[in-house]
């Protein structure tokens, strides 16, 4: 049954029956939040509802004054007679697909998701629905990820290689999610690990949630005569000339991102090493997830919408590309740079 439980209006995805938005673009009366990345969570809404596992992150991002409630994964909450529940999306800590049910009609809004293994969050769980709203950040057939273990080994080898040549290893990673996934997966016996403040803020929340991360030190608090040549430093994407980097002396840079799959991205950003590691579904994962949802209708948001919409239409599904406000979001690694470059 293909109803109109959700609609796209000027503030994003709205459920009129339940009077709430999912990841609204502007402040709303009630915001149901898939996860704490800034393109999904805007501050200023009157009430937030998110998965319990992501509550601390949403509270941090929405501000201490915000009214944030959490629901356990799989436990429905009644919003004006509409059943809303959260199901793991495997993207970052506390990330969810939102299942919305009313009078027999079921929608699922994926938020961002991935199927690949990630010890820092609950694994993706398929949700059956009539209409599936899927992300498509990497919705092109060229995007196929290798096993994440291969990318993590690449980081280890790059770090060891830098140690041999007396260089510090500066790894740029998105500070919420990617940084913690890297930390949880690398070989921490190689050397000391330091972090930028933006990364450390989220490390603390992950550790409080019981996620095992190796010990890290805040780079800014390191003594003046610290030998950085054996160290791995995890920072949000910064330009090579950023003053925060000066203290490390001679260093090599790497960036962990799905965008490193595109030839030229690394060079354009003048980064020494590109590590392909994404927290989004690749092309085969998008297709299998859509199939497993059992949905007859698919709304495609984020990223390469048209390619995926076309593929789905050609394969017998009713598909619509749905515009998102944040087209700048194409770079999964860039979101926080503005806020963090101030720290020097």
Binding site residues, Zn ion, CB under 5 A: 37, 39, 112
Q: Which is nearer to Zn ion, 101 or 112 (CB)?
A: 112
CB of 257 to Zn ion, least distance (A): 13
231: three-class secondary structure by DSSP: coil
Structural contact between residues 285 and 144, judged by C-beta atoms closer than 8 angstroms: no
- State the CB neighbour count (10 A cutoff) for residue 2: 11
CB of 134 to Zn ion, least distance (A): 12
- State the CB neighbour count (10 A cutoff) for residue 165: 9
Q: Which is nearer to Zn ion, 37 or 42 (CB)?
A: 37
Q: Which is nearer to Zn ion, 163 or 325 (CB)?
A: 325
The owner of tokens 């049910």 is: 101
Written as six digits, the tokens of 53 are 């596992």
Written as six digits, the tokens of 164 are 């041999």
Q: Which is nearer to Zn ion, 33 or 100 (CB)?
A: 33
Q: Which is nearer to Zn ion, 51 or 245 (CB)?
A: 51
DSSP assignment letter at 28? -
CB of 91 to Zn ion, least distance (A): 6
CB of 19 to Zn ion, least distance (A): 24
Written as six digits, the tokens of 45 are 């809404």
Of residues 266, 303, 301, the one with CA closest to residue 132: 301
CA–CA separation, 106 and 124 (whole Å): 19
Q: Which is nearer to Zn ion, 112 or 200 (CB)?
A: 112
Q: Which is nearer to Zn ion, 36 or 84 (CB)?
A: 36
CB of 23 to Zn ion, least distance (A): 8
- State the CB neighbour count (10 A cutoff) for residue 189: 7
CA–CA separation, 50 and 33 (whole Å): 5
CB of 334 to Zn ion, least distance (A): 12
CB of 109 to Zn ion, least distance (A): 12
Return all residues near 306 (Cβ < 8 A) that are at least 6 apart. 321
Burial (CB count within 10 angstroms: exposed 0-12, middle 13-18, buried 19+), residue 97? buried
């Amino acid at each position: 049954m293909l109803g109109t439980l959700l609609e796209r209006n000027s503030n994003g995805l709205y459920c009129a029956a339940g009077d709430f938005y999912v990841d609204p673009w502007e402040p709303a009366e009630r915001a149901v939040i898939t996860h704490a990345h800034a393109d999904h969570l805007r501050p200023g809404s009157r009430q937030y509802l998110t998965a319990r596992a992501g509550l601390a992150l949403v509270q941090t991002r929405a501000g201490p004054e915000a009214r944030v409630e959490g629901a356990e994964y799989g436990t429905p909450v009644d919003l004006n007679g509409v059943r809303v529940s959260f199901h793991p999306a495997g993207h970052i800590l506390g990330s969810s697909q939102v299942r919305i049910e009313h009078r027999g009609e079921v929608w699922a809004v994926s938020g961002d998701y991935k199927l690949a293994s990630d010890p820092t969050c609950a694994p993706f769980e398929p949700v059956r629905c009539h209409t599936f709203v899927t992300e498509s950040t990497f919705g092109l057939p060229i995007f196929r990820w290798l096993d994440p273990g291969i990318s993590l080994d690449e980081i280890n080898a790059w770090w060891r290689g830098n140690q041999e040549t007396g260089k510090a290893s500066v790894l740029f990673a998105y500070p919420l999610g990617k940084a913690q996934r890297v930390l949880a997966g690398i070989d921490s016996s190689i050397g000391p690990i330091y972090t930028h403040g933006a990364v450390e803020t989220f490390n603390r929340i992950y550790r409080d949630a019981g996620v095992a991360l190796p010990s890290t030190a805040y780079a800014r608090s390191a003594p003046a005569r610290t030998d950085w040549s054996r160290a791995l430093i995890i920072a949000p994407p910064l330009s090579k000339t950023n003053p925060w980097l000066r203290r490390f002396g001679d260093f090599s840079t790497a960036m962990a991102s799905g965008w490193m799959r595109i030839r030229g991205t690394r060079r354009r950003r003048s980064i020494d090493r590109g590590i392909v590691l994404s927290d989004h579904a690749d092309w085969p994962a998008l297709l299998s997830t859509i199939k497993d949802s059992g949905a007859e209708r698919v709304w495609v948001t984020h990223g390469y919408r048209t390619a995926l919409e076309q593929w789905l239409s050609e394969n017998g599904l009713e598909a619509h590309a749905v515009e998102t406000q944040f087209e700048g979001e194409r770079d999964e690694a860039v979101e926080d740079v503005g806020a963090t470059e101030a720290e020097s």
